[in-house]
Structures are given as structure tokens and as C-alpha cells.
Amino acid sequence: MAIAAAISLPLTSPTRCYLNISDQFRSLSSSYSPFSTCQFNFFKKDSTRICPSVRISTSASMSIQTPEKSSPPTSFLDRRESGFLHFVKYHGLGNDFILVDNRNSSEPKITPEQAVKLCDRNFGIGADGVIFVMPGINGTDYTVRIFNSDGSEPEMCGNGVRCFARFIAELENLQGKQSFTVHSGAGLIVLEIQDDGQVKVDMGEPILKASDVPTRLPANKDQSVVKAELNVDGVTWNATCVSMGNPHCVIFGSKEGQNLQVDELKLAEIGPKFEHHEMFPARTNTEFVQVFSPSHLKMRVWERGAGATLACGTGACATVVAAVLEGRAGRNCTVELPGGPLQIEWREKDNHVYMTGPAEAVFYGSVPL
């Protein structure tokens, strides 16, 4: 059977076009029929629409009998074709993830090696990691597991769990304010979707004991490492070490007293030297921080297993804890990241760290495995 496709492109110049696909893509994919007409709009980067009537239509070249009653459309996420992985891509302040519905199994649907391929930004979907929604254990509502873009498995990811929360709300068709408990490699976390759509995460208590972070730097304040000397590539930095279920090394400046100008850092050069430093037996995430005021911090991050990212939720939490320990900031701060701001509170009452920020769906897709 031949299928004819007609495409009209009313372009008057060779101006480059950008395809604008909104959240309506989901409804399009769920109700798709091979005999339908789709319309797309093309935009310049400045949002000027330049191709207002691109239409793609398909029609059969021979008559086909179809049932009088068709089955109701199936949700995109409910499809179960064998050999395909269905996913939704989300981002939290530009830190992007492939979200997979894994509620029917306690084992991830893909391997770490497959995750590496899917996260490749040239030959795959492109992401900082793959996140699986799995059945809860030990009385929790859900379990989260994460594969980084290099195939390693972190204990926790702050931006990722906000995306996780929004994905659950979509899977379960939850509306309005919602709260649920999640088992993670870092222990129990509590996620709360706010009325405005932002997600507040109870990240639990920060871990400060040097051996538990872990770091080989000697403790210099009780059992913790605060503003300790760390030599990296001939420069002595002041390092404060914090674990938010995963290890962090927070840097505000060097021993010489030079405060950071984070936008001037050559992060790709210096980041890996911190990550793989001998003082961090499990490697480390590294936050480079500039202090604008006691309630406003600016941070760039080199993430263990992912490299330079636009945002790191656990890193923002560790940054505020470190800033308080060094006497640089208060317990409630806006942390400015390349992808946008997060609100972080280290609450004195219960010693828990709370993170609030956005998470948004980017697109829906299927990929052959």
C-alpha cells in the first residue's frame, strides 16, 4: 500500500527555522492515526513565527475498510511495544534527565551501558542522566534510581528528584498539592509538589563527619572538615566537605584569601582534578561559590559522573550548609546557578535541608533498544 505525504512550506527566504513543539505533542502522540493531518509552526530564535502553515498530511492511495468503532486512544506512556523504551525528558533548571516508568519492576529497564548511549547528546537523546520510577520499599511510596551520563549510579540527585516528582504526578494523574515519600540511595526523602507547580524536597540532615562524606582530609572542626587546605594542581584551596547523601567539596576561595569570581573559572580544566583527587575516595562533586550577600550565593558545579552541568540540587544544598559553617551566609539563601535559582533552607529546628525549585517536561519519545 502506498502512502502519499504532502508538505507545504511557504518560505520566502532561506532563513533557518526552528520547530516549536508544545506540550500538545503528548495529546498528538496519544491520538495519532496514519490518516491524520498535523500542523507545525516554525520560529526563529527570537520567537518570530516564519512558517505559519507547515502541514503534513497522509492519505492512503487505495480504499481501506476500517471498523466503525475504534478503541479509545491509549496514553503515550501506556504503550508497551516490545523493543522500545518510552520516556519523558524533563529538566530542572537545565539539568536534564530521561524519566522512565519502571513501576512494574525493581530492576531498571535498561543497563548502565545503554544509559550512556541514551545520554549522548550527539548520538542519543541527550541528558545528564536516566531516572527510574520504581516500586516503593520499606513503606515508601516509590523508589528512585539514577544512572549518570557516564553509567555510574549516584546516591541522590536534587534536580533529578524534582523531575521525578513531576513525572509521578503525570503518571498517576495527580492534581494540585501532593506529597509522597521516596526511597533513594541516600535514604528517605520527602517530595512535595506545591500549588504553583514547584517542588519542595526535604533532603534530610547534612552529613558532616569526614569519614562519612567521605574525605581523607583531616577533620578540623569537631569531626567535620571546614575551610581545610586542599592542594589541587599547585593551588591551595579552602575546602569544606559536606554530604547530602552524595559527597561534595565546596570552595569559596584559595588560601591566599582570593575570593572566587565563578564566571572566570575554567571549569572543564579544574573540575576533573577535584573529582578524582586522592582525598576523595568515592570521588566528589565540587561547587565553586561566589558570595554576593548573606542570602544570595552564586555557584558553578562540576558533578561527579556528569561534568559541568547547569544546576545541581544537592550541590546547592551543600553550598548553603558550607556557607553557614564558614560564617559566610544565613540559613535561608537563594543559590544562583547557570540554569536558574534554587531556594535552600537549612532549618535549625530539625537540622534538615529543604530545597525548592522548578521541574518541567521537555518532550515525550520512544527509542529502540
Which entry of 157, 163, 241, 317 is annotated as an active-site residue? 157
Q: How many CB atoms lie within 10 A of CB 106?
A: 12
Instruction: Please enumerate in sequence order all residues whose Cβ is within 8 A of that of 281, keeping only pairs 6 or more positions apart, or say none.
Output: 214, 215, 216
Q: How many CB atoms lie within 10 A of CB 221?
A: 14
Q: Evaluate whether 291 touches 329 at the Cβ level (below 8 Å).
A: yes
Q: Evaluate whether 289 touches 301 at the Cβ level (below 8 Å).
A: no
d(CA 347, CA 104): 36
163 is catalytic: no
Strand (E) or helix (H) holding 184: strand 178-184
**Region label for 222, one of left (φ > 0), alpha (ψ between -120 and 50) or beta (otherwise):** left
d(CA 149, CA 133): 17
Q: Give me the residues paired with residue 313 across strands.
A: none
User: What's the grid cell of residue 365?
Assistant: 519519545
Give the residue carrying C-alpha cell 558553578: 300
157 is catalytic: yes
Which entry of 163, 241, 249, 312 is annotated as an active-site residue? 312
Q: Which residues are catalytic?
A: 157, 312
